Structure 1
Amino acid sequence: MLSSCAVVDFFGPRPDSALVELAQSARADADDSNYGKLRLKQSEELFAEVNRICGVEENGEVPQTCHIDEEDPAGPSTSAQAAVAQLVELMDKAPQESRPLLARQAVQLASGDAPLPDAPSEDTLTQAMELLEFEYATVYGLDVAEAHGAGVDTQAHAELILELQNLLGEDAPVSSPAYFADWPDDSSAEQFAEELVQSSRNHFEAAAATAKDSQWRNWLIHAAAKL
């Protein structure tokens, strides 16, 4: 017969395999001279997320069944691009509540361009429509901030707008003549512009966390990284 301890170990919670794989990969990348510091921080965040999802016992300790080896048996991802690809791929297998963290980490590592989906789904097109409308409003707000003395750069926004328009084709909405800009009384033009850009970045990142198509998710991550 199994001892009571063995029964607890057998039936206890298990760490999420996708999060464990990502955490171990990030830990293995911590020695990289180019982005090791960032990957070390990401590994700490991921191991903490593994424990959070697993839960803690009454004494505040992680259950014995949730203890994991921090070493990656597969070795490091070898590049930031490979790490982004791994995050994009395993996001589908990770817990829903963990995906915003994975999207944020992917954005931190991403650079360059990513292709748009060749055959976008209805969900993808709906997200693209919402993002395009948001970018129209963002560029309008940045123009207002610039008129009040802020130094702004709308090139990345303009490029993303063009890509979204191409994805949506003839269904792409046109920009409105004006948008409402909620300018806090205590914000300077520069602060207002910075808040607009951060809000835009947050929208693309949030969309990546909920995207169902991995190619679209990859594009959203690289889009957020440009802003």
Structure 2
Amino acid sequence: MKPTEFPSPLAHRGPVPIPEGYASLSTAELSDALDRLGLPGSALGIGTVGAAVRTLGRAFTVRYEPVDLVPGTVGDYIDEVPAGSVVVLDNNGRVDCTVWGGILTEVASRMGLAGTVVNGVCRDADAAAQFNYPIFSRGRFMRTGKDRVQVAEVGGAVSLGDVRVRPGDIVLGDADGVVVVPHEREDEVLAIALRTRESELRIIEGFRAGKRLKDARTEFGYHTLQRVQK
């Protein structure tokens, strides 16, 4: 593990800015755009914890593994996370021990991090509300991960179930869950999401103006909005 070496685009102290427009989008809109491009990205089974229900930032990735004969560290990587990042923790979906808790929540909040997403569980859920810090996980469980798991890699590819996440990918979380956008395709995904939103707005405007929903959907191509492009 080399905790201070991060692949591009996190090769410097601050994350690459996220394209304008992402801040206004929902996970549903991004999921539809990813479907249109035939890309994965919707993280099944990961939902919000606490009161803050939205996060947006570039991924800072950490992968865990079962503890070795000599226990390793659990959360020391936090000092290296650039402000504005979303911490993405891959604990292989384990629900028997945590890799995020109250101390990390307070530290992350005071460091200006955008949020945390855990392929596994977290604890000290009250701290998320106390510090208004967005956390997304597979659930909550109080048992510590110390002496049960350890950091295996910082700054490599990780998994949120069936979604692969790499440093610098865009991570958006809201009340519906978490979506990951590959950084190489972020402009394309954004453009499609905005076009889809415009089409759906026209559909509802048509309905409000007196059209039958079926006719408005047909006029603005509702049934093909998410269909994979040929």
Give the TM-score normalised by the residue count of structure 2: 0.24
Higher relative contact order (CA 8 A, sep 6+): 2
Higher strand share: 2
